[in-house]
Structure 1
Amino acid sequence: MAFQTLIEASKSCSNAKVLQIGSGGVGCEVLKNLATSGFKNITVIDLDTIELSNLNRQFLFKTTDIGKPKVSAAAAAVLKMSPDSNITPIQDNIKNPEFDLNWFSNFDLVINALDNLGILNLLIFYLFRFNEYPKKLSKKTFKNLDARKHVNLMCQASNLPLIETGTAGYNGQTTVIKRGFTECFECQPKPIEQKTFPVCTIRNTPSTLVHCVVWAKDFLFNQLFGNEASKETEVPPGDSQSNLNTLKSRYVSEGEDGLEFDKDDDDALRFVAASANIRASVFGIKNESLFQIKAIAGNIIPAIATTNAIIAGLAVTQAIKVVSGQLSSCKTIYYAYGGRRPQLLFKEPLLSPNPKCTICQANYFKLELNFEKNTLQEVIDTITNYLDSIKSNKDESDSFQNSLNESVINSEPDDDVEFSIVEGSSPSESSGLNLKKSPESYYFDPLSPLVADPSHSQKHHLDSESQGNNKL
Structure 2
Amino acid sequence: MAATQMQTDIPTPQDATDTVKKDWPGRWSNMNKFLDRRGPFCDSGFIPGHGEDILLNQCRILVIGAGGLGCEILKNLALSGFKEIEVIDMDTIDVSNLNRQFLFRQSDVGSPKAKVAAEFIMKRVAGVKVSYYYGKIQDKDEDYYLGFHLIICGLDSVEARRWINATLVNMVQDDPERIRVLIDGGTEGFKGQARVIIPTITSCYECSLEMLSKPTSYPICTIANTPRLPEHCIEWASVLQWPKLRENEKMDTDDPIHIQWLYETALARAKEFDITGVTYSLTQGVVKNIIPAIASTNAIVAASCCNEAFKIITNSQPYLNNYMMYTGNEGVYTFTFEHQKKSDCPVCGIQNISVEVKRDITVEDFIDFLKEKPDIQLKKPSLTKASTNEKIYWQSPPFFEQKTRPNLEKKLSSIVEEGDDILITDSSLPISLTVKISYV
Closer, same or farther in 2 for the Cα pair 1:168/1:55, shift >3 Å?
A: same
Distance 2:345 2:206 in 1: 7
Q: Please state if 1:80 is matched with 2:115.
A: no
1:264 positional shift = 4.7
Q: More deviation in 316-325 or 215-224?
A: 215-224
Match of 1:148 among 157, 161, 165: 161
Q: Please state if 1:37 is matched with 2:80.
A: yes
Match of 1:58 among 87, 95, 101: 101
Map of 2:391 onto structure 1: none
Match of 2:194 among 147, 151, 174: 174
Match of 1:101 among 132, 136, 142: 142
Structure label with greater radius of gyration: 1
Once the two structures are superposed, the pairs formed by residues 18-417 of structure 1 within 5 Å of their partners are 18-96=61-139, 99-114=140-155, 116=156, 144-157=157-170, 158=172, 159-190=179-210, 198-221=219-242, 223-224=244-245, 226=246, 229-230=247-248, 260=251, 262=253, 264-265=255-256, 268-280=258-270, 282-283=272-273, 285=275, 287-325=277-315, 328-331=318-321, 332-339=323-330, 342=331, 344-361=332-349
Distance 1:301 1:168 in 2: 6
Task: Tell me the SS of whatever aligns to 1:189.
Answer: helix
1:62 positional shift = 1.2
Q: CA RMSD in A?
A: 3.4
Distance 2:423 2:318 in 1: 33
TM-score, normalised to structure 2, is: 0.63
- Equivalent pair of 1:182/1:353 in contact (CA under 8 Å): yes
Closer, same or farther in 2 for the Cα pair 1:325/1:171, shift >3 Å?
A: same
1:180 positional shift = 4.2
Equivalent residue letter for 2:233: C
Equivalent residue letter for 1:94: I
1:76 positional shift = 0.3
Closer, same or farther in 2 for the Cα pair 1:7/1:277, shift >3 Å?
A: farther
- Equivalent pair of 2:207/2:345 in contact (CA under 8 Å): yes
Task: Tell me the SS of whatever aligns to 2:138.
Answer: coil
Equivalent residue letter for 1:348: T
Task: Tell me the SS of whatever aligns to 1:148.
Answer: helix
Distance 1:262 1:167 in 2: 23
Q: Please state if 1:448 is matched with 2:434.
A: yes
% identical aligned pairs: 31
- Equivalent pair of 2:231/2:278 in contact (CA under 8 Å): no
Gaps of 5+ in 1: 117-143, 231-257, 364-379, 381-431, 437-442, 453-472
Distance 1:435 1:198 in 2: 30
- Equivalent pair of 2:266/2:278 in contact (CA under 8 Å): no
Task: Tell me the SS of whatever aligns to 1:360.
Answer: coil
1:218 positional shift = 3.5
Task: Tell me the SS of whatever aligns to 1:448.
Answer: strand
Deviation sequence 1:288-346 (CA, Å, 0-9, x none): 4432232112221111222212211111001111112368431522221223xx4x131
Distance 2:184 2:88 in 1: 15
1:154 positional shift = 1.6
TM-score, normalised to structure 1, is: 0.59
Equivalent residue letter for 2:159: D
| Number of positions where the alignment pairs a residue of Structure 1 with one of Structure 2 | 314
Map of 1:390 onto structure 2: none
Task: Tell me the SS of whatever aligns to 2:137.
Answer: coil
- Equivalent pair of 1:362/1:446 in contact (CA under 8 Å): no
Map of 1:13 onto structure 2: 55
Q: Please state if 1:4 is matched with 2:54.
A: no
Deviation sequence 1:85-136 (CA, Å, 0-9, x none): 221100110012xx2222211111110111x3xxxxxxxxxxxxxxxxxxxx
1:206 positional shift = 3.0
